[in-house]
Structure 1
Amino acid sequence: MKSKSVLLIEDNIELQELISTFLKDYNYNCIVYSEPFEALKEFEENHAKYSIVILDLSLPRMDGFDLFKKIKKIKNIPIIISTARDDIGNKIYGFELGADDYLSKPYEPRELVLRIDATLKRYKDSEELQINDLRIDLNKRSVFLENQQIEFTKIEAEIFFMFIENINKVVSREDIINQTSLKEDTKNRTIDMHVSNIRFKINDDSKESIYIKSIWGIGYKFCDNN
């Protein structure tokens, strides 16, 4: 069975070792960071490999809630808060931000494993990508900008999800014609028009594009970071 990777952000060294050792026994690969800025850099660069984040709130140089928001902006990943802040105000705020669970220290490591298992089970049937302000439901083929669903035409949706299936790869205009409902004799300017409409709907300025980069003489590349 392939191990799932857990990002543990916790500055208590003793607790780090206890949790990471325990998770390993239950087939979880635990990567640990004490410093929030280092953890954020790691997540920005390698977020695709992580299944869940375990986050302490009392961290050096950055409050855990601020780090929570930065992580969620990069990717809609499940997050379990693990903290000594057990007052109801912090719990409510954590859940309002979108925490999947909230564990008050001290707790038994086995309880954390059970909570991770339960959280990942809930996410199993929901494949979503979070790219900046875009939330993309791959199963339902729905796209949301700042939680408002975008209405694509059939062709626009086909092109958009083709881009998503090839994130950070160049997609030629020929590929778009061959893998969508467009006719074989479709002109380049027609494809460009559809892409322009997609850009408009996802709030992507063609002159200073965040997502869809034009590759001169070939086609386009959808980028998930800058």
Structure 2
Amino acid sequence: MTRKILIVDDDQKTRTLLKAYLEKNQYEVRLAHDGATFLAEFQRLADELSLVILDVMLPDTDGFALCKAVRRKSNVPVIMLTASSDETDRVVGLELGADDYIAKPYSPRELLARIKAIHRRIGIDSSAAPRYYRFAGFSLDTVERTLVDSQGDIVPLTGMDYQLLKYFVEHPGDVLDRNVLCEETRGRDAGPLDRSLDVQISKLRLRLNDGGRQPHLIKTVRGAGYVFSADVSAAAA
């Protein structure tokens, strides 16, 4: 099955941001701005979709009606988005057949985690995840856990180097705060005086020949965190 997602949301900025973020994570994304457009796209793509995301509040209908329409035709997983904190909305959505429910405001990272969890449950992400990430002449092999440079030489990585680099190449262009990086690589938040992550990033920069006053690959965003600025391509082979 493909990793194709259909999203309906009446906010253009939200649609654009979600599409860009999910496509960076190797999902194919189709967009709709209202219920009528969504239903037309769903009729056309129903057999290809691995998940749909429904905004509850739409100009011509609501996400509940769309969820019922989806369930009459398909068992494709459904995630519903709402600006309401009312528990009733969540219960109604789940009773109509939604698989998950996220309240606004939410982070794209949280939505991605929910998508991955659903896809793992139905057996998609485990086989579709890319093996290789290529950037700036380097190739990271996530099966062998090795990094090869442009000359074909293996760059030695510690376990922490690998976890940190893998997370960076999976999220190119995203500003990642220190707590996110510590949680993903160490399983805990960074304390206010904890500089171990910064030390680890300095070591990783050296392994990537990215040291000096102005690193080109792993950039510091003052007051926000770090961003991996290289162009990254992902492939299964």
TM-score norm. by structure 2 comes to 0.50
1:108 paired residue number: 107
Indicate the larger mover: 2-11 or 64-73.
2-11
| SS of residue paired to 2:41 | helix
Contact residue 81 and residue 101 of structure 2 kept, 8 A: yes
| 1:1-12 paired onto structure 2 within 5 Å | 4-12=3-11
Q: CA deviation at 1:3?
A: 6.0
1:79 paired residue number: 78
| SS of residue paired to 1:48 | coil
Q: CA deviation at 1:100?
A: 0.8
| 1:1-226 paired onto structure 2 within 5 Å | 4-124=3-123
State how many pairs are aligned.
124
- In structure 2, give the amino acid aligned to 1:18: L
- Identical positions, percent: 36
Q: CA deviation at 1:42?
A: 1.4
| SS of residue paired to 2:47 | helix
RMSD: 1.5
- In structure 2, give the amino acid aligned to 1:109: P
**Partner Cα separation in structure 1 for residue 100 and residue 42 of structure 2:** 20
- In structure 1, give the amino acid aligned to 2:45: N
**Partner Cα separation in structure 1 for residue 53 and residue 31 of structure 2:** 10
- In structure 2, give the amino acid aligned to 1:90: D
TM-score norm. by structure 1 comes to 0.53
Q: What CA deviation, in whole Å up to 9, does each residue of 1:112-166 have, x standing for no partner?
A: 00100001111229xxxxxxxxxxxxxxxxxxxxxxxxxxxxxxxxxxxxxxxxx
Can you give the 5+ residue segments of structure 1 that lack an aligned partner in the other structure?
A: 126-226
**Partner Cα separation in structure 2 for residue 79 and residue 86 of structure 1:** 19
Contact residue 68 and residue 97 of structure 2 kept, 8 A: no
**Partner Cα separation in structure 2 for residue 89 and residue 4 of structure 1:** 31
